Amino acid sequence: MLWGDDDRRRWQAEGPLLEGWGVYHATVDPRDGTLHAAANHVVYGPTVQRSTDTGKTWTRSKQIGLPAESGLTLNATWHIEPGRREDPETLYLGADPGVLFRSDDGGETWEANRGILEHPTREGWFPGAGGMCCHSIQLDPRDRQRMYVGITAAGVFRSDDGGETWIPVNHNVAADFLADPYSEVGQCPHKLLLHPARDRLWQQNHFGVYLSDDHGDSWVRLDGNGLPGGFGFPIMLDPNDPDKAFVIPERGPEYHYSPGGRLTVYRTRDGGDSWEPMADGLPEQAWAAVLREASAYDEESLYFGTQSGSFFALTDGDRWVEAVRHLPPILSVEVAAWSG
């Protein structure tokens, strides 16, 4: 747990919490302040842990499993998304192998979503280097029935009926490792975000950065407009400006580090028509990698952590501050406001 002051220049590290667990994603439920963690361990397997006292004590979910008839077993828990305010006990969990769970009791028990589990295109899905993970879950705040998931390497799927059925929405999205690079499924989204104020989806994909203004029915590729490349994992948004987005490119699929040895965040302010580097305060020389869950944004700033254990926050004047260093690999960054 990293605690920062109001200007985000001074930070204190506390912990480690959940010692020994690989926390692929942790998030604070804005509805009640509960901290949820997708926790995995090579010996003890995948689970979800939750804390109602800012991480001092934790409770494990009851065993999360897939139905026997699926022939699948749970490999890892990846992403926890709190549900809508009108469903205060509902949470969603994305997991490997390309599955989505829902909890209606605050994370105590989880049930697999049949529409994703039994999706007719599942034979065309395959795992990426990190497994076949469902890592992105986005609920449309304007339509109670609409939600999206991103699965590697299956693609982006949309439900218009509250999660009963799902349609692939990968039109125009490249999957250059497939025989048909524009097939219906098999794409590799690395992170999918829905802008909170406008029907605009942003996607950092294995092959490019994309935007969709029609609920994923079509996508526009944006990384030819000033980015050093199309490969990367995280993406950040500005909740007050749907034309802004931020990505952290890596050299390429086989080279997971900063291009040119210069860790740089790239910003667009015009919906991806152009990108500009934001490197002030970042190391002059760094071959860094930032994982898909290792960035966050709020009304005021941006935050990310590297696999080499450095945590950066953006301060006034578009200057990055290396707030904490020498941590283990940073798998997940989320930001929450707590008054102390």
Partner 1 sequence: MLAAQAEGRKSFEIEAETLGEALHALPVADLLFNERGELNRHLNVYVDGTDARERGGLEGPLAAAREIRIVAMVSGG
- Please state, in angstroms and rounded to a whole number, the distance separating the CA atoms of residues 195 and 243: 9
Spell out the residues 6+ positions from residue 187 whose beta carbon is closer than 8 angstroms to its own. 153, 154, 155, 156, 170, 173, 174, 175, 205, 206
What three-state secondary structure class fits 280? Answer: coil
Residues 94 and 110: beta-carbon distance below 8 Å: no
Measured from the CB of residue 53, what is the shortest distance to partner 1 in angstroms? 15
Measured from the CB of residue 327, what is the shortest distance to partner 1 in angstroms? 19
Nearer to partner 1, 40 or 264 (CB): 40
Measured from the CB of residue 132, what is the shortest distance to partner 1 in angstroms? 17
Measured from the CB of residue 134, what is the shortest distance to partner 1 in angstroms? 17
Residues 154 and 187: beta-carbon distance below 8 Å: yes
Nearer to partner 1, 68 or 179 (CB): 68
Measured from the CB of residue 133, what is the shortest distance to partner 1 in angstroms? 17
Nearer to partner 1, 41 or 85 (CB): 41
DSSP single-letter state for residue 114: H
Nearer to partner 1, 42 or 337 (CB): 42
Read off the amino acid at residue 167. I
DSSP H or E segment with residue 238: strand 232-238
Binding site for partner 1 (CB under 8 A): 19-20, 41-45, 47, 60, 62-66, 68, 73-74
What three-state secondary structure class fits 34? Answer: coil
- Please state, in angstroms and rounded to a whole number, the distance separating the CA atoms of residues 225 and 275: 6
109 by Cβ neighbours in 10 Å (0-12 / 13-18 / 19+) ranks as middle
Nearer to partner 1, 72 or 278 (CB): 72
- Other beta carbons within 10 angstroms of residue 294's beta carbon come to 23
- Please state, in angstroms and rounded to a whole number, the distance separating the CA atoms of residues 310 and 333: 11
Residues 267 and 244: beta-carbon distance below 8 Å: yes
Phi, psi of 162 (to 5 degrees): 70, 20
Nearer to partner 1, 62 or 144 (CB): 62
Measured from the CB of residue 45, what is the shortest distance to partner 1 in angstroms? 6
Residue 301 token pair: 């700033």
Measured from the CB of residue 22, what is the shortest distance to partner 1 in angstroms? 12
Measured from the CB of residue 65, what is the shortest distance to partner 1 in angstroms? 3
Read off the amino acid at residue 283. P
Nearer to partner 1, 64 or 139 (CB): 64
Nearer to partner 1, 48 or 245 (CB): 48
- Please state, in angstroms and rounded to a whole number, the distance separating the CA atoms of residues 143 and 233: 27
Nearer to partner 1, 117 or 201 (CB): 117
- Please state, in angstroms and rounded to a whole number, the distance separating the CA atoms of residues 60 and 58: 7
Residues 37 and 21: beta-carbon distance below 8 Å: yes
Measured from the CB of residue 109, what is the shortest distance to partner 1 in angstroms? 12
